[in-house]
A and B are shown apart, each in its own frame.
Chain A
Amino acid sequence: MNSRLSGPLAWLLLPVTGAVLVFILAPLAVTIAISFNDAPFVVFPPRGLTFKWYGQVFHDTEFLDSLVFSTELALAATGGALLLGVPAAFAVVRGRLAGREAVAALLLSPLVFPVLITGVALLQLFSMLRSDDTALNLFVAHVLVTLPYVVRTVTASLVLADRTLEEAAQTLGAGRWRVFRRVTVPQIAPGLAAGALFAFMVSFDNFPISMWLADAQHNPVPLLIFQRIANFFEPSLAAISTLLIGFALAVVLVVERVAGLRRGLAM
């Protein structure tokens, strides 16, 4: 610990920070503890160690269907958001455009707008269009909520990319495509990867858009968990939650390695 965190100030800051970290980890730790609890109800303290809830989860076809659907939806939405967002980020950073600021603000505006309301508005649009293909509706909606994350991370990494390297490659005779593939892409690759991973997680975790558009055949995982919280209170839900926590932590570690977490989030 360096000298900037010492003396009476440290005595105040460190305990508060420690308490906040405990607060942050508490609901995750409790969920994990409950998932190994050998009791038919959610009770604390845990009564004994069991893996039976995990066994139950792997035979839970309703959950497995949701898991497959959520994964497909998140992959498709990430693809769509990359296709729309990467060219847009290039235009915002490098295009010679009037009103660049306004364009950037519009691209990020779905982040500021309450997502719940974006969902109602889309439900209304789709019912006016008589679009009753639930999977397609969800795909469009999820591209909309993931797009700003891709734009933000790719924009942040493009700003940092060194243009003189591209000019040098061009001077040396590389064509435009070759410059893009061999010089530009490697420089923004961490941003692209972080943007794609966040887009995937944002779609996979989304509740407030899906709640308006999903149906019984297309029921993303967060909706399934929400319905079950209301209906029954048994530890298999904690087992599902623990699996999702593990998955999210794996993503965090990957992003931290690839791009650095704070840069990846562009915050």
Chain B
Amino acid sequence: MAASPAAAQFPPLAGRPRRRPLPALPPGAAACVQLAPSMLFLAFFFLLPAATLLAYSFLTQSAQGTVGLPLTLAHYRHFLGSALYLHVLWTTLRISLSTTAAAALLAYPVALVMVRASAAVARVITMIVIAPLIVSVVVRTYGWEVILGNGPTGVLNWLLLATGLVGHPLRLLYTDTAVVIGSLHVFFPLMVLPLASALGKIDPALDDAATTLGATAWQRFRRITVPLSLPGLAVGGTLVFSLTAGSFVTPAILGGSSAQMLGMLVDQQILTVYDWPFGATVASVLVAIVLAVNIASMRLLDRRRRLRGL
């Protein structure tokens, strides 16, 4: 291969008369042309509507349903002053945090096995972990509804009764736990994948060195694996928290009215009550929570990178 001259490999090209090169564009101009359509699209269909929604949360709705001035903070005061809405906010935070914690706890073993097992095993595990990500959330939640069914014909209750672990069927559906289980199932891959890629970057020599120096398996995990995989944990945790907090399908089907979350409140205010400003207020609160968590995690990662760079 190396002996054959490059020109001989492309005889048709070499034989052709050279095309005159196109006049060079000023640097950056081509990029602007390539970016213009997507930027305009995002400005008009993403940034503008998001800003309008935020603006609505400060406006007043008349009795006729038109929204306009005066500017007011009344909707935020209404939200923060009502025990019912604060309860929904608290439920959202509690379920999102529990889901994130459970995902982190279960993701470590899976990600460690993915990184350390043979290539074939890792491949199978990766497929099983990722496959559900592509199955619609509605379908997966339906599966959980069947499993967690409250009567004796719910799969889990049937199993518990058949094995004699419980004497009468448990109330599983329409609880916080059901929503956490469903959300964990939906978002688990988004925790495992960043964690596995962070774990994959850890130099195995560190573990070997620690073993030589007499560290136990637990010490190695706590002093080497956990600190060095924190960036992956932060990325995955942020994703799981944000997506759980903003979810609708899972709490609507598995939680019902006993585990109402912010997303369901937005839906109810806008599609049932037709209170656009208050719906926009709840939406803005949800966005603020998600953005705060994302920004905090980004700053954490940035600071870490700078510290390690020094």
Contacts and interface: CB of A to CB of B under 8 A. Distances in A.
Q: Do A and B bind each other?
A: yes
Interface of A: 1-2, 4-5, 7-9, 12-14, 16-17, 20-21, 23-28, 30-31, 34, 41-45, 83-85, 87-88, 90-92, 94-98, 103, 106-107, 109-110, 112-118, 120-125, 128, 140-141, 143-144, 147, 151, 168-169, 172-176, 198, 201, 204-205, 207-208, 211-212, 221-222, 225-226, 229, 237-238, 241, 244-245, 248-249, 251-252, 256, 261-262, 265, 267
A104 to B, nearest CB: 10
A175 B6 CA distance: 17
B236 to A, nearest CB: 10
Given A26-B143, A107-B42, A147-B38, A201 B134 contact: yes
A13 B246 contact: no
B82 interface: no
B193 interface: yes
B272 interface: no
A13 B30 CA distance: 51
Contact of A124 (B41, B53, B141, B245): B53
B135 interface: yes
A124 B109 contact: no
Contacts of B101: none
Given A91-B32, A116-B246, A124-B276, 11 more contacts: A2-B116, A21-B129, A34-B146, A106-B42, A117-B283, A121-B49, A122-B49, A125-B45, A169-B13, A211-B267, A249-B134
A54 to B, nearest CB: 16
B142 A225 contact: yes
Which DSSP category, helix, strand, loop or mixed, fits chain A's interface?
helix
Interface of B: 6-7, 10, 13-14, 16, 18-19, 21-22, 27-28, 30-35, 37-39, 41-42, 45-46, 48-50, 52-53, 56, 106, 109-110, 112-113, 116-118, 121, 125-147, 149, 153-155, 158, 185, 188, 190, 193-194, 197, 204, 207, 217, 242, 245-249, 252-253, 263, 266-267, 270-271, 276, 279-280, 283, 286-287, 290-291, 294
A105 B144 CA distance: 35
Given A144-B45, A176-B22, A91 B197 contact: no
A30 B155 contact: yes
6 contacts: A90-B34, A91-B35, A116-B263, A207-B249, A251-B134, A261-B130
B215 to A, nearest CB: 12
B34 to A, nearest CB: 4
A62 to B, nearest CB: 16
A168 B248 contact: no
